[in-house]
Amino acid sequence: MSDKPVDKMSFEEAMAALEAVVGQLERGDVPLEESIKLYERGAELKKRCEAKLKEAEEKVAAITLGEDGQPTGTKPVEGL
Amino acid sequence: MSTVFITHNDCLSHTTPPGHPEQVARLEHVQQALDAPEFADLLREDAPLGTDSHILLAHPAAHIKRVRDAAPTEGTVSLDPDTHMSAGSLTAALRGVGANIRAVEMVMNGEVNNAFCGIRPPGHHAEQEKPMGFCLFGNVAIAAKHALENCGARRVAIVDFDVHHGNGTQSLLWDESRALFCSSHQMPLYPGTGAATETGAFDNVLNYPLPEGCTTATLQAAYDGEIFPAIEAFNPDLILVSAGFDAHRADPLAGLMWEVEDYIWLTKRICDVADKVCEGRIVSTLEGGYDLDALAASVAAHMLVFMERGG
């Protein structure tokens, strides 16, 4: 388990850590006493992934096209 | 006809390392709760010692030997990161088996309507040859086999409402067509098994995984929507309950949000189903539950329903 604080992780780091947590829980190789702590870490990692995705979404802008099909500018994407 | 509480102070001699959640105080709290005046009429029995022949109903001889050989004369030994034995653990575990055997006999013989075994260590994680998750012997699987082989039951249904999946009971009864094992449990969580796709060799396993935070509505939908109809269709002669109280919102080892009122509802509904299919015959056994106050209050509530319905 990485010592890096979850709130400092990149999306890729948080996703990789989350996959590791899910794998451990699914394989059942976590002690009973530790299982809920690992689940809670998974929930924290999921939250981090969601926050990073949201950040990325906000940076995405749709390219707007003019009547002649040529790009005229950008606008924020809705509904992602 | 009435309700019996079977326990034994030897179950207090199973000690675990300091800070371990499956601690002596759990059973002390349960026993104290059942010393309250409203339980004055409760029939009480000391659990006898279970025997190898009882354990062999569900485990191979190699498992008994392994547990016996591991038992220390002093201090504690670890069988895995969760599961420990002290000098008193083997006797405690044998009392747990014996409590279940005695309870099944009393209920099947019509001496009482229903029974609760207040024992530890718990049993529902113990697999054929693998003690795990605080458990040494599969108490409830042994009880099921005893009812089927020696007490005239044609079919037995098991309700496991401990927050963790009862992997041991499931594995011990996987190919027992006369037993229906039903479990609700938080998932993902220890031990990692319990997917709805695990259905037993004879469609005799029903797993109902629950999401973190599950409250009353989801609980009731699980039981009234799937588990109880399946038990009624199976038409058992006895219902066994793996009664873990760690789905309580206060429990430190899980993340469900049940309250004492939910255990009252669940116990009443189990009694309703038992009344309908098997003349109210129920044997319930303590599994998990690690918040001492929540455990004591939940067991007391469970028992009050049993007494009301068994009286």
The 8-class DSSP code of residue B227 comes to I
pLDDT values of chain A reduced to their tens digit, one per residue, 80 residues: 457 899 999 999 999 999 999 888 888 778 988 888 988 899 999 999 999 998 887 776 666 677 777 777 777 666 55
CATH of the domain at B189: 3.40.800.20
> Which residues, in sequence order, are CB contacts of B131 under 8 Å at separation 6+?
B63, B66, B67, B70, B79, B80, B83
pTM: 0.90
B206, amino acid identity: L
Specify the pLDDT at position B267. Answer: 98
DSSP 3-state of B43: strand
Is the CB of residue B164 less than 8 Å away from at least one CB of chain A? yes
Could you list the active site residues of B? 125
A1 in a structural domain: no
Does B21 contact A33 at a Cβ distance shorter than 8 Å? yes
Asked if A80 and A60 touch (Cβ cutoff 8 Å), the reply is: yes
CATH of the domain at A11: 1.10.287
What is the spatial distance between Cα B119 and Cα B236, in angstroms, rounded to a whole number? 25
Count of domains forming chain A: 1
Is the CB of residue A39 less than 8 Å away from at least one CB of chain B? yes
List pLDDT tens digits, range B138-180: 999 999 999 999 999 999 999 999 999 999 999 999 999 999 9
Specify the pLDDT at position A77. Answer: 63
Instruction: Give the range of the structural domain holding residue B260, as residue numbers without chain letter.
Output: 3-310
A30 in a structural domain: yes
Count of domains forming chain B: 1
Does A26 contact B212 at a Cβ distance shorter than 8 Å? no
DSSP 3-state of B152: coil
Specify the pLDDT at position A70. Answer: 77
A14 in a structural domain: yes
B62-69, Cβ contacts within 8 angstroms, sequence gap of 24 or more: B62/B129, B63/B128, B63/B129, B63/B130, B63/B131, B66/B129, B66/B131, B67/B93, B67/B131, B67/B136, B67/B137
Interface test with A, best of B190, B193, B256 (most A CBs within 10 A): B190
Specify the pLDDT at position A29. Answer: 77
Which of A25, A36, A43 faces B192 most closely, judged by CB atoms? A25
Is the CB of residue A36 less than 8 Å away from at least one CB of chain B? yes
A41 in a structural domain: yes
Instruction: Give the range of the structural domain holding residue A12, as residue numbers without chain letter.
Output: 6-76
A12 in a structural domain: yes
Interface test with B, best of A21, A32, A35 (most B CBs within 10 A): A32
Does B190 contact A29 at a Cβ distance shorter than 8 Å? no
